Amino acid sequence: MIEHHGVALAVFVALIVLTLGITVWARANTRGADDFYAGGRTFSGPQNGIALAGDYMSAASFLGIAGIIALSGYDGFLYSIGFLVAWLLALLLVEMMRNAGRFTMADVLSVRVRRQAPVRRAAVVSTVTVSVFYLLAQMVGAGALVSLLLGIHSGERFLMMSAGTARTVTIVLVGALMIFYVAFGGMKATTWLQIIKTALLLAGSVVLTALVLGRFGFDVSSMLGSAAGSSGQGEAFLRPGLRYGQDVPGDAYRTIVNKLDFISLAAALVLGTVGLPHIVNRFFAVPDGRAARTSVSWAIGLVGAFYLMTLALGFGAAALVGRDAIVAQDPSGNTAVPQLAQAAGEHVGGHLGGDLMLAFIGAVAFATILAVVSGLVLASSTSLAHDYFGQVLMLGRPRESQEVTVARFAAFLVGALAIALAVVCRDLNVAFLVALAFAMAAAANLPAIVLSLFWRRFTSTGVVAGIYGGLVSSLVLVFFSPVVSGKTDPVTGESLSLFPAGVDFHFFPLENPGLVSIPVGFACAVAGSLLGREQPDRERYDDLSVRALTGAGSH
Amino acid sequence: MMGDSEVTGRQGGEPGPYASIAGYERFQLLRGRVRRAALVVGTVFLGWYFLYVGLSAFARDFMARTVVGHVNVALLLGVLQVMSTFALAWAYVAYARRRLDPLAGELR
């Protein structure tokens, strides 16, 4: 144990030093708003595509999905597929969004409206809400994860800290680094951080996949058989249904609720991606619409290849590490991949090989967390500074240097808020927040984006109604859902919700609100346009269409 | 750069400077093509994805059928989803290069 602490710690420190160096370089090369928000728009399509993949592949997908596959088999792969297929929607919209906008989603939405302030305000509220929820999930996860990676169990002490303190220290350290990267380095530092992270993540996954498949003579079927055998579930492990949309014998209502919940999650994943603020912001880091399209096609290739490898990682962990050993470390399976790395490394290079592989994969996971949280903070601060301060408060005439200063300050503020919330929630199960963030992005942002670009009758009343309608319905439904109250473990009676057992005010049966809130978002957007007194502005819509489709007048 | 905010950051005042191009025949051709391509790709991938999700939820016996060794229909369809995503992305990008970019270039 002690020696892998040492190796892991050394790798972590090296990574931090490298990224801090990049941030200092980026600070020296960041002059105006274009640099801070969009990295000077100098990144090439492929570079930005690698960074997009980095923004997207969170620790939840690297460790989380592989963990779900290791414990629940095939169902983890359902998650991967939703995450990947969603990118086709991004591919269809990215060029138009890049052409019409400047730095943020609100820029795209406000091209065609006469009164921008309400639209911008709504977009800021939704951007910051989605980002902070997603951020919270990542940071709480980071606290738990780094402790696990360093092998600090409850009761043990590490560098004189107890497990609880180590968790808090990790959250604060991750938060401080993220604030530093964003506030000083802006989009340039964040992009290079993403590129390094993607390179590490893919290298780690390729090596591990090769080691795992090698153990089975590169015979996928025999790996699957071995995984099914040691899972204790037999062939059911290789089929859908162990985790999502479970059949409950004799309870038709429960069964159908489970299935609808699964469809709701699938809808949120596939429709939410293109509304995620940190993804949308990255559409603007390239010179033109064509480069933006190239970046999305690169992202599709990288993300797809990665998710195929999670199959080998997840089933490999089930086969080589085994269910009992994984659950003993972490009941939700987040340590399955690090454990697999250690096992695979030991098989090749003995004890030292195991420690090195574990340290390497630990560093990959750490870089993954840092990169994703930085992207989220950058998106929030860009929206607050550019949309709210620059366009609403300063009426679209801010001094550029002033606006960038506000952006740096906003990064600090959002980061501090996220740290505080994450420390408060550090012992809660907040994994549902990732799916919630996707549902909110799909319900609030997607209708506004799609209807702005394609619907002639859309008005600013419609944008505002759609954003608030989708956001509020998602939040209200999730608050009254089993993830917040009323879900208990049928065997132990322990609470599986946010609130302790005994508190139960849930009335909405689904854990993911998407199935209801996404249609609500679209309905509000349409109703607001048709029922509001505002007349659609045909001329401005034509202007937006020409800009979006041809790239004329783009920034 | 910030001076450009006269264009996007206008609050009321003159409507968009590019609106007149929307009446050009070439532009309407471009818009028709973009909308058709988006509709086709969107319908195909969302339909195929939700078919896969529906099969995973409701047709478990079909998904459980063995194809070869321990590989079953579910795994095969999952991998096919990944492959079809690659294929659709490639096809859309190829179409955009051939049929959309030249038109957009003419109008810019």
Least confident piece of the model among A52-56, A426-430, A442-446, A505-509: A426-430
Domains of chain A: 2-246+273-429 (1.20.1730.10)
Please judge whether B54 and A263 are an interchain contact, meaning their C-beta atoms are less than 8 angstroms apart: yes
Instruction: Check whether A409 has a pLDDT greater than 50.
Output: yes
The rounded percent of chain A whose pLDDT value lies above 90 is 74
Contact A32, A284 (CB under 8 A): no
Residue of B nearest to A399 (CA): B2
Instruction: Check whether A158 has a pLDDT greater than 70.
Output: no
Chain A residues near residue B96 by CB distance under 8 angstroms = 95, 293
Of A33, A397, A545, Cβ closest to residue B1: A33
Q: What are phi and psi of A321, to 5 degrees?
A: -95, -45
Instruction: Check whether A319 has a pLDDT greater than 90.
Output: yes
Least confident piece of the model among A73-87, A296-310, A486-500, B48-62: A486-500
Q: What is the pLDDT of residues A418-438, one digit of tens each?
A: 999 999 988 777 778 999 999
What are the residues facing A488 on neighbouring strands? A495
Give the pLDDT confidence score for residue A27 in this predicted structure: 94
Please judge whether A222 and B70 are an interchain contact, meaning their C-beta atoms are less than 8 angstroms apart: yes
Please judge whether B82 and A102 are an interchain contact, meaning their C-beta atoms are less than 8 angstroms apart: no
Other beta carbons less than 10 A from residue A301's beta carbon:
18
Which residues, 6+ apart, have CB-to-CB distance to A550 below 8 Å?
A: A99, B21, B27, B30, B104, B107, B108
Give the pLDDT confidence score for residue A134 in this predicted structure: 93
Chain B residues near residue A398 by CB distance under 8 angstroms = 2
What whole-number distance in Å separates Cα of residue A281 and Cα of residue A196? 19
Please judge whether A308 and B79 are an interchain contact, meaning their C-beta atoms are less than 8 angstroms apart: yes
What whole-number distance in Å separates Cα of residue A426 and Cα of residue A254? 31
Chain B residues near residue A259 by CB distance under 8 angstroms = 57-58
Residue with tokens 């290739």: A301
Listed by number, the residues of chain A in 415-434 with a beta carbon closer than 8 Å to a beta carbon of chain B are none
Which residues, 6+ apart, have CB-to-CB distance to A173 below 8 Å?
A: none
Average pLDDT over residues A292-302: 97
DSSP helix/strand/coil, B46: helix
Instruction: Check whether A397 has a pLDDT greater than 90.
Output: no
Give the pLDDT confidence score for residue A432 in this predicted structure: 86
Nearest by Cα to A87 from A351, A296, A379: A296
pTM of structure: 0.93
Residue of B nearest to A267 (CA): B50
Tokens of B103: 């038109």
Give the pLDDT confidence score for residue B15 in this predicted structure: 65
Residue of B nearest to A74 (CA): B75
Chain B residues near residue A222 by CB distance under 8 angstroms = 69-70
Residue of B nearest to A225 (CA): B70
Give the pLDDT confidence score for residue A3 in this predicted structure: 53
Least confident piece of the model among A329-343, A452-466, A520-534: A329-343
Residue A144 banded pLDDT, cuts 50, 70, 90: confident
Q: What is the pLDDT of residues A252-292, one digit of tens each?
A: 999 999 999 999 999 999 999 999 999 999 999 999 999 99
Q: For chain A, what is the mean pLDDT?
A: 92
The rounded percent of chain A whose pLDDT value lies above 70 is 97
Phi-psi group of A186: left, alpha or beta (phi > 0 → left; psi -120 to 50 → alpha; rest → beta): left
What whole-number distance in Å separates Cα of residue B80 and Cα of residue B71? 13
Give the pLDDT confidence score for residue B9 in this predicted structure: 42
Other beta carbons less than 10 A from residue A452's beta carbon:
28
Listed by number, the residues of chain A in 243-272 with a beta carbon closer than 8 Å to a beta carbon of chain B are 244-245, 247, 259, 262-263, 266, 270
Average pLDDT over residues A387-396: 90
Instruction: Check whether A491 has a pLDDT greater than 90.
Output: no
Q: Is residue A314 within 8 angstroms of chain B, CB to CB?
A: no
Q: Terminus-to-terminus CA distance in chain A, angstroms?
A: 54
Listed by number, the residues of chain B in 65-104 with a beta carbon closer than 8 Å to a beta carbon of chain A are 68-72, 74-75, 78-79, 81-82, 85-86, 88-90, 92-93, 96, 101, 104
Tokens of A327: 């659950």
Q: Is residue A545 within 8 angstroms of chain B, CB to CB?
A: yes
Other beta carbons less than 10 A from residue A416's beta carbon:
13
Least confident piece of the model among A9-13, A86-90, A181-185: A9-13
Residue A156 banded pLDDT, cuts 50, 70, 90: low
What whole-number distance in Å separates Cα of residue A395 and Cα of residue A147? 47
Instruction: Check whether A529 has a pLDDT greater than 80.
Output: yes
Least confident piece of the model among A28-32, A156-160, A234-238, B39-43: A156-160
Residue with tokens 């690169």: A298
Distance from CA of A258 to the nearest CA of B (A): 9
Average pLDDT over residues A55-66: 87
Rounded to two decimals, the ipTM of the complex is 0.93
Of B11, B18, B96, Cβ closest to residue A293: B96
Mean pLDDT, chain B cut into blocks of 10 residues (108 residues total): 40 70 93 96 97 96 94 96 97 96 91
Residue of B nearest to A31 (CA): B1
Chain B residues near residue A224 by CB distance under 8 angstroms = 69-71, 75
Give the pLDDT confidence score for residue A152 in this predicted structure: 63
Give the pLDDT confidence score for residue A525 in this predicted structure: 98
Identify the residue with better confidence: A153 or A99.
A99
Contact A522, A271 (CB under 8 A): no
DSSP helix/strand/coil, A155: coil
DSSP helix/strand/coil, B72: strand
Which residue blocks in A29-74 are alpha helix, DSSP H?
A: 33-38, 45-56, 59, 66-72
Please judge whether A259 and B78 are an interchain contact, meaning their C-beta atoms are less than 8 angstroms apart: no
Identify the residue with better confidence: A5 or A248.
A248
Give the pLDDT confidence score for residue A1 in this predicted structure: 43
